[in-house]
Every structure is written in C-alpha cells, then in structure tokens.
Amino acid sequence: MSIVTPKSLTQAEDEGRPRTFELPQLLQARTGKMTRELLLNPGDHGLGMTPESLQAETTTVAACGYCATGCGLRLHVRDGQAVGLTPETEYPVNLGMACPKGWEALEVLAADDRATYPLLRDADGEMKRVDWDTALTTFTERFKSIQSQHGNDSVAFLSTGQIPCEEMAFLGALAKFGMGMLHGDGNTRQCMATAVTAYKESFGFDSPPYTYDDFQQSDCMVFVGANPCIGHPIMWERVLRNPNSPEIIVLDPRRTETAMAATQHLQLRPKHDLAILYAITQHLIASDLIDHEYVAAHTTGFETLAEHVASFTPDVVGPAAGITADAIRRAAESIGQADAASLWWTMGVNQSYQGTRTAQAMINIALITGNIGRPGTGANSITGQCNAMGSRLWSNTTNLFGHHKFESAEDRERVARILDIDVDRIPDQGSWSYDRIVEGIRRDEIKGLWVIATNPAHSWIHQGDFKELLDKLDFLVVQDMYASTETAQHADLLLPAAGWGEKEGTFINSERRYGLLKKVRKAPGEALADFQIFRGIAAYWGVESMFADWTHPEAVFEKMQAASEGRPCDISGIQGYRQIDQSGGIQWPWTRQDAASNDVPPQQRRLFADGTFYHSDGNARLIVDAVAAMPEPPDSEYPILLMSGRGTVSQWHTQTRTSKSKVLRKLYPQRPYVEIHPTDASLIGVRNGDTVSVRSRRGEIFVTAMVTPTVQRNQAFIPMHYDVTNQLTLSHFDPHSRQPSYKDCAVAITKV
C-alpha cells in the first residue's frame, strides 16, 4: 500500500534520494484516510483532534482569525457544525469582549464566492473546473518545467500572516527543502518587517516584550502611528480598564478616534516621528530623567545616543514637525516622571521609509528610562494579522525554521536533524525580500509564483505596476478561500482553501501567546485545509517521504517545539494542544524547565525582567541614525500628502472576508472615500459627498470626498480596504526592513 505515487516520486528515488518512510501508518491511524482519498473526497479535512472532542462538547474556544489581538471566541456547536459564537469570558486576552469582525467570523465562511473546487485557466483564457488530481499534476508539471528551464530559484512563493504556524512551517519546508526554492516571502513584510528588524538589532531577537496586562498597569502610554480604537479595539478596551488614569500620548498626523481619547495628541507632520522621538530623548537627558543605573547595567551606546540627539532640541524640532516645543517637553516629562511608562507602535511607524530607526528611537526611550521588564512598561510593537507572529518564527522565509539562520552551518545542521532531512536541502542563504521578488519578475528571473492566503493585487504598493508583473509570469498559482480575489483573477491555477473555523493549528498573538484554531465547520465543496494541500503537493512533487510524519498539525507542532528548545522562543514545555486549550493560550517562552516547576503556565508573562537581552553580552543596543528625507514630498503639481490605513473596525484588509457579512457591510461606507480638510475642500469647491479625482504620478482614482477636520491641511487619507488605494502609492521601502512605506506619497485632488 502506498500514498499517491506520482512519476516524480519514482524519479526522486532513482536519483538516490533516501526514502525514509514506506507506509503511511501514522496518517492512516490519525485520519483513517490516505492522501489519494483525501484528494478525491475533499472538503472535510481540517484534521486534528476536534471532530472527536466536539462530539462530547457543545462548545469550544478558538482564537479569532482576524487581528493579532487574538481574542478567544466560544463556538457553539451542534452536530459537528458551529452554529454561533460568543466572546469567551475566561480567555485572558479579551475577557468576554469581541469586535464586530469576531462576532461575524462564522458568517463569512458561507459566502457565494467561496472557492469550492480547483480552477485551471484553459487555452481560451477561461478558468475551468478541474479535479484535484489535474490541479496538483499541473502544479507540479508547470513549476518543474519552469525550474528545469530557468533554475530552481525561478519559482517563488508569497505567503501570509493568516494561516496557522503549522501550515506556514509546512509550506516553508515544502517549498524550500522539498521543491528547492530559494525565494519566498509573505505579507508579513507589508506589516511587521520593521518591528522584526528593530527588535533583532536592539534586543538581539525578534521579541515583543509585553503582555496585555501592561495596558492596565501603565501610568503613561505612548501610541505612535497606532489607531487601536479601529485596528485593535479589544486592546483599546484593555486600556480603558486601566485604573491609574493614565497619561495617553498619541503621535498621529490625524485626529483619530484614539487621538481624541488621548490626554496629549501630538498632531505631527507625517514622518516627523523620528525627529520628535529624538527631541523627547534629548529633553529626557537634559532634564536628567534617565535611569542611569539601568543604562549602565543593561545597554550599550548611551554616549553615542546622547551625542546624536543633542541637536534635536524641542525648540528646533517642534516647529519643523508642526507641533510646539512645549508639547514635546510635556510628553518627555510625562514619560520620564511616570512609574511605569509604555510605548506602543503600529503601522504609522512600521510602514515608513525610516521605520526601523523610528521604532528603535522608541526602544531607546524605554531603555534609558528603565521602562522595560516591569509591569506597565515596554517598547511594544502591536502586531497586525492573527498570525504574523507565527510567520516571523515558522515560515522559513527570511529566517530558517524557528528563527534560525540560513547562513549558519550549525543552524542548518540542527534544523536538518530535527526535521530528519538531508542538510544539503537547506539553502545557505535567506530569501529575497518581497520587493526583490517583485523586481525578479520584472527582470525575468522569477517565472513562476505561488501565492497563499494573501491578495497582493490589491494590497501591494504601486498596484498598476504589480498587476502587469503578475501577467508577465509563466505560471501563477493562487491558493485562497475565495475565487473572486483581485489576485485570483490573474491566476492560472486556483487552489480552493479551507479557512478559519474549518481547520486546526496554532496562531501566536501580539503578546507571544499561542492560541488554538478549531475545526467547527466543514469546508465547502472540495476545498481543503492548506495543510492538506501541502501534503498533496508533497506527494505529487515526489517528496512525500520527506514529510511522511507531517500527518496532522499537532505532529508539526511537536517539530516546532523541538526546534524552539534552548532558543528565546522556547516552547518545549507545552503539553500539546490540549494544554494550550486548557490554559487560555500559552505565551512563549515556556520551557521544559518552566514546566517542571509549574503545572500551569502563569497567564501574564513579560520578557526582560532581569534586564538580560539576547545579544551575546546581554545588553540591549541603543541605535540612532540620521533623519531621512521624504522621497516624494508634496509640490505645486501634487500638493497633498496622501496617507492610507484602516478605515473602520468592520473592514478587514482587502475585504475578501468582511464584505461577505450583511451586518459588517452596514457598518462601513461601500464607496471608496478620501478624508480631506474643510479648507482644502473649499479651495477646490468640493463639498462632503462630492466625487473627487485623486491623482498621483502613478494613477488616478475617483472617490467620495469625506470633508473632515480630523486630517490636517494639505494632507489626505484613504482606507486601504478599497482596491483603488494602491493605484496611487509610491513604491519605496525602509532600507533595513524592506517594508513598504504605504503612508506617504504626493497627490492632487480635484473636483469632477
């Protein structure tokens, strides 16, 4: 008996590659089905422990699949199908609360445009239904043929922060070790790359240090480029529960919902954050609001920092940044005098051409004031997608599995041993970043692309250019829950995927908490969990033996545990999915040693209590740099600076999911709109609700004018949820993180 044995497997054997596994006993034992059967009878294969456990239970708790707050949702199950949900009161993240997206999470699974069977583009350019055998045979033949003509590295993948860790791990291992790809990146680059780079350089590891309890324990909170009222509403609820009447300082060019709730709103000119943070640092030093003992014991670089910021006085920076010197001094004093100050950032920092240094300027402030490792403190990056944290550790894109280094022979040996694969299959260099992969298409270096759980034809920067490049590919595979996405429309092959609620695995939230996904619905039609699709591809590609024991998500979780051992992200002490389920999630690290001395993982754990960071000398680095110039500042032809970001609580990204709920649709404007200042509007004769043209050097779009004083003069804002937005954006990046700078380009707005 064997699992699907395509020609290529025999070829692989002929080439002398070891085949370590003959009979899929484990797979059979766990699922009672074999790959061929799975592929012939798809639709019900999220796998894992839930189906049995659900028969006994009427409810079960799963982590939400939208934002990285990671709320616990209690799913009410009847006859093996979820029929409703309520926010879980016992879950340590959300304490019984959820936002509208969470409440409506089940609704969007039933949409008409779900991808229910594989689609293949025929000779006439039409997408036609095919069976899984044809789909996976075509996948294999087309990509192999491209690789044999143009080299293995001519096929790349783009993945996501929205599938479970175990699926990311599978994809990364399959693509890189199995299919021989070198290049694969994900939408986490659009989102968190800057935070990753900043933490790595400053702390020695990508390690957001906080726990959500810190929202309730701070007495001064600084939010930079973050609008949690819209983007992370349940985190904001935690802020509202803070009993200390905290000082809340918001740096945002717009008067957002969050800024309105602040005690100090520094309504800066866009991209002046770095100068302002240096001025805050300068004032802290000048006023001796520094924790000298902490600086001496736990940091490196204070002298250089002090010298660097000396010229950034509030008097110089304030007027240039569009705020007063006093506002800067007041903010600095609030931070310096607080018992517990915390600094939080999101996309207003990460999505910037100087994002990494801006994030590090915040980290510097936390360090020099000794605001780290204690309750209510920290330099805290808030994560975007439900599992962007998982992709940072497990996706095998920039880092090798478990945040190892591709470049290190020792790391490659370790990972090869743990995964029981030939070390020569692990590339000795990391992937090109997302933008470099896109450039690779332009330069004919990338000919085949596999896109999984992301919708770049809507979300990537300078969209017109990107769409042209998609059509230049020899073969584009899109693997998505919905057949109608902007990217799916360019696909040659569409693989229908199960979504949240239809499969199992783990997500890691913003505070490093592993939470569980549950399979509480059957995926529609022939859609399969991404996990199963990867299993199928492994079989058709001929590398099935390499993944013989990757039978179900929890088996992969065990590999993750082994790879994490002894590293900052150690989870070797977790007693399987069941313990995650019983504990309301478990934060990393949770080591064997931790587990030996505690039966139950404590709920709110933060990093760096002992002031030891992950650099070899244990010290954190204080990193500074020159302030960079905006590449496309407004001028007489394009006089308005355009920002973009989240519009409402009820819209998620490219709207493939949230637009499918009747309830959510009532909660946001259907037509794309631009926020402009009343004076700017009156100068072009535009009233609220009029249609305007918004034109940049890259495109022109027609949208509704929303005239509002929440944006400043000569600035404008368009939510990213409408597909037109990225027709305007300028392709430019942070030089260290390669994250796109989505929030600054010059436009002209006129009445039509």
Ligand X SMILES: Nc1nc2c(c(=O)[nH]1)N[C@H]1C(S)=C(S)[C@@H](COP(=O)(O)OP(=O)(O)OC[C@H]3O[C@@H](n4cnc5c(=O)[nH]c(N)nc54)[C@H](O)[C@@H]3O)O[C@H]1N2
DSSP string, 506-518: EEE-TTSEEEEEE
Residue matched to tokens 């057949």: 483
Query: Which of 64/720 has CB closer to ligand SF4?
Result: 64
**471 CB burial (10 A radius; 0-12, 13-18, 19+):** exposed
Handedness of CA 430, 436, 440, 443 (dihedral sign): negative
What is the pairing mode between strands 184-186 and 155-159? parallel
The least CB distance from residue 602 to ligand X, in Å, is: 27
**14 CB burial (10 A radius; 0-12, 13-18, 19+):** exposed
Specify whether the CB–CB gap between 479 and 530 falls below 8 A.
Answer: yes
The least CB distance from residue 259 to ligand SF4, in Å, is: 19
List 234, 449, 533, 624, residue binding ligand SF4 (CB under 6 A):
234
The least CB distance from residue 381 to Mo ion, in Å, is: 11
Does position 65 bind Mo ion by CB under 5 A? no
- Chain residues 29-88 in contact with ligand X, contact rule CB under 6 A: 67
Query: Which of 91/742 has CB closer to Mo ion?
Result: 742
The least CB distance from residue 261 to ligand SF4, in Å, is: 17
Specify whether the CB–CB gap between 664 and 101 falls below 8 A.
Answer: yes
Question: Which stretch of DSSP H or E encloses residue 148?
Answer: helix 132-150
Query: Which of 261/555 has CB closer to ligand SF4?
Result: 261
Question: Using omega within 30 degrees of 0 as the cis cutoff, is the peptide bond preceding 589 cis?
Answer: yes
- Chain residues 382-401 in contact with Mo ion, contact rule CB under 5 A: 384
Structure tokens at 66: 């939208």
Least Cα distance to 493 among 142, 144, 9 occurs for 142
Helices 530-541, 7-14: axis angle to 10 degrees equals: 60
List 646, 660, 698, 736, residue binding ligand X (CB under 6 A):
646
- Chain residues 268-287 in contact with ligand X, contact rule CB under 6 A: 270-271, 273
Return d(Cα 146, Cα 152) in angstroms, integer. 8
List 87, 231, 336, 427, residue binding ligand X (CB under 6 A):
231
Q: Give whole-number Cα distances, 462 to 131, 567, 641, in Å.
A: 35, 38, 16
Does position 573 bind ligand X by CB under 6 A? no
The least CB distance from residue 522 to ligand X, in Å, is: 15
Three-state DSSP class for 741?
Answer: coil
Selection from Mo ion, ligand X, ligand SF4, none that 50 binds (CB < 5 to 8 A by kind) is: none
529-552 core/surface letters (b: 16 or more CB in 10 A; e: else)? bbbbbbbbbbbbbbbbbbbbbbbb
Selection from ligand X, Mo ion, ligand SF4, none that 70 binds (CB < 5 to 8 A by kind) is: ligand SF4
Selection from ligand X, Mo ion, ligand SF4, none that 573 binds (CB < 5 to 8 A by kind) is: none
- The residues facing 620 across adjacent strands are 299
Does position 69 bind ligand SF4 by CB under 6 A? yes
Return d(Cα 89, Cα 86) in angstroms, integer. 9
**Per-residue x/- marks for ligand X, 489-508, CB under 6 A?**
--------x-x---------
Candidate segments 98-106, 285-293, 528-536, 618-626, binder of ligand SF4 by CB under 6 A: 98-106
What is the pairing mode between strands 475-480 and 493-496? parallel
The angle subtended at Cα 204 by Cα 199 and Cα 205, nearest 5°, is: 65
Does position 159 bind ligand X by CB under 6 A? no
List 118, 601, 645, 672, residue binding ligand X (CB under 6 A):
645
Query: Which of 282/459 has CB closer to Mo ion?
Result: 459
User: What is the length of the chain?
Assistant: 752
Candidate segments 20-28, 176-184, 434-442, 454-462, binder of ligand X by CB under 6 A: 454-462
Does position 72 bind ligand SF4 by CB under 6 A? no
The least CB distance from residue 600 to ligand X, in Å, is: 30
Three-state DSSP class for 217?
Answer: helix
Amino acid at 155: V
Does position 191 bind Mo ion by CB under 5 A? yes
Return d(Cα 121, Cα 323) in angstroms, integer. 55
List 6, 42, 70, 501, residue binding ligand SF4 (CB under 6 A):
70
Does position 399 bind ligand SF4 by CB under 6 A? no
Candidate segments 126-134, 190-198, 426-434, 565-573, binder of Mo ion by CB under 5 A: 190-198
- Chain residues 515-544 in contact with ligand X, contact rule CB under 6 A: 530
> Which parts of this chain interact with ligand X (CB under 6 A)?
67, 160, 162-163, 187, 190-191, 224-227, 230-232, 251-254, 256, 270-271, 273, 346-348, 351, 384-385, 452-456, 458-459, 479-482, 485, 497, 499, 530, 643-646, 649, 651-654, 656-657, 720, 725-726, 729, 742-743
> Which parts of this chain interact with ligand SF4 (CB under 6 A)?
64, 66-67, 69-71, 94, 98-99, 101-102, 233-234
